[in-house]
Amino acid sequence: MVAFRDPNGIRPLVLGKRDIDENRTEYMVASESVALDTLGFDFLRDVAPGEAIYITEEGQLFTRQCADNPVSNPCLFEYVYFARPDSFIDKISVYSARVNMARNWARKLPANGKIWISTW
């Protein structure tokens, strides 16, 4: 299995594992931590921007940083829209991120509380 996170960290990627028996370990990569939970895998870590993961059929794990100057510029819509609220992206709770964004937005609202919303 091969997985790669883009060098700008736009989309999330997590790595998990589960032990099948004393001699076998399975690995999993997913865009959200909750996918690991659902299938019984333990969260190992976030895959870094620009990092490649290679897992052999025998279960050997290899990683390599492939980008010269990786940065973390996650897509805002991951936190606002795409991700499940019970997920974590780059060690940040999606639910907490949404609550904090709502609080910050509320501070910018007019004090009189009048907000106009268009309807169709």
Q: Identify whether 115 is part of a domain.
A: no
Residue range 15-32: mean pLDDT, rounded: 94
Let me know if 107 is exposed, middle or buried by CB neighbors in 10 A (0-12, 13-18, 19+): exposed
- Are 49 and 58 in contact by the 8 Å Cβ rule? The answer is no
- Are 54 and 2 in contact by the 8 Å Cβ rule? The answer is yes
Range of the structural domain that residue 91 is part of: 2-107
Residue for token digits 């865009």?
31
Q: What is the mean pLDDT of the chain?
A: 92
When divided into structural domains, the chain yields a total of 1
Quick: pLDDT tens for 53-94.
999 998 999 999 999 999 999 998 999 999 999 999 999 999
